[in-house]
Amino acid sequence: MDVILIAGFWLDATAWDPVLPAIQATGHTPRPITLPGVSPADASVGLRDQIDHVAGLVDATEGPVVLVGHSGGGAVAHGVVDARPDRIAKVVYVDAGPLGDGGLINDEFDAENGLIPLPDRMVFDDESLVDMDDELWAEFQQRALPIPEKVATAKQVLSDPRRYDVPVTVITCEMSEETLRELLAAKHPYVAELAAIREYDIVELPTGHWPMLSKPDELARLVVAALPTP
């Protein structure tokens, strides 16, 4: 089964390199992708363009597909589930979750000529930066690519309730599993779309927002554990 891996903001397909061998060992076929508008940079690209691109990759694949979405890539993954609910076997959200209809990924980042560069480290909260020491942050800065502002600020548009039938695993990093379940129990708006999914589980990977950099081996094991049996 093909596993399409969608990295979050400022990252391309190579962010998934540490995870690929573990997926290959299961018999699945990992397909890490670089989203349109990231490389080469293109400020005209919006969230729907990225969703449509990944939906096209699903259409070109035989059989069911697994989506793995990190951070903002989770919003893209959920848009694809809505567009192709009958083709997606499972979604794995990595420090992310399904973005509901009308939601935005993040409209607080500063843009330059329609592109959002990686902000200064001080912009991020302490939870995001757990385990991101100076060396890892320097690595992140070196590989970071600007992302289109329209991806971050466009509203998610969803229409097919069959998206709630696709099973989900959330790998939560910045937030503990306990806190996330408390939000679900309280019916907090932040998790309303996740709460509507009929089958989901939550696993905790205590680290910052970029586990492929800070805890790649642990992330690989959790992603593999969440995959369907080939």
Asked if 101 and 51 touch (Cβ cutoff 8 Å), the reply is: no
Output the six-digit token pair for 81: 């589930």
The helix or strand, by DSSP H or E, that contains position 180, with its residue range, turns out to be helix 177-185
120 pLDDT tier (thresholds 50, 70, 90): very high
74 pLDDT tier (thresholds 50, 70, 90): very high
User: Is the per-residue pLDDT at 8 higher than 80?
Assistant: yes
User: Is the per-residue pLDDT at 19 higher than 90?
Assistant: yes
User: What residue has token string 């912009």?
Assistant: 123
Q: Please write the tens of the pLDDT for every residue from 89-119.
A: 999 999 999 999 999 999 999 999 999 999 9
Q: Please write the tens of the pLDDT for every residue from 193-204.
A: 999 999 999 999
137 pLDDT tier (thresholds 50, 70, 90): very high
**pLDDT score, position 83:** 98
Please give the Cα distance from 215 to 118 (Å, whole number).
20
**pLDDT score, position 159:** 97
**pLDDT score, position 209:** 97
User: Is the per-residue pLDDT at 186 higher than 90?
Assistant: yes
SS3 224: helix
Mean pLDDT in residue range 154-183: 97
User: What residue has token string 């400020």?
Assistant: 43
Other Cβ atoms less than 10 A from the Cβ of 219: the count is 26
User: Is the per-residue pLDDT at 17 higher than 80?
Assistant: yes
User: Is the per-residue pLDDT at 217 higher than 90?
Assistant: yes
Q: What mean pLDDT, rounded, does the chain reach?
A: 97
Mean pLDDT in residue range 4-18: 97
**pLDDT score, position 230:** 72
**pLDDT score, position 89:** 98
Mean pLDDT in residue range 45-70: 97
pTM of the model: 0.96
Percent of the chain clearing pLDDT 70 (strictly above): 100
Please give the Cα distance from 146 to 155 (Å, whole number).
20
Domains and CATH numbers, the chain: 2-226 (3.40.50.1820)
**pLDDT score, position 229:** 85
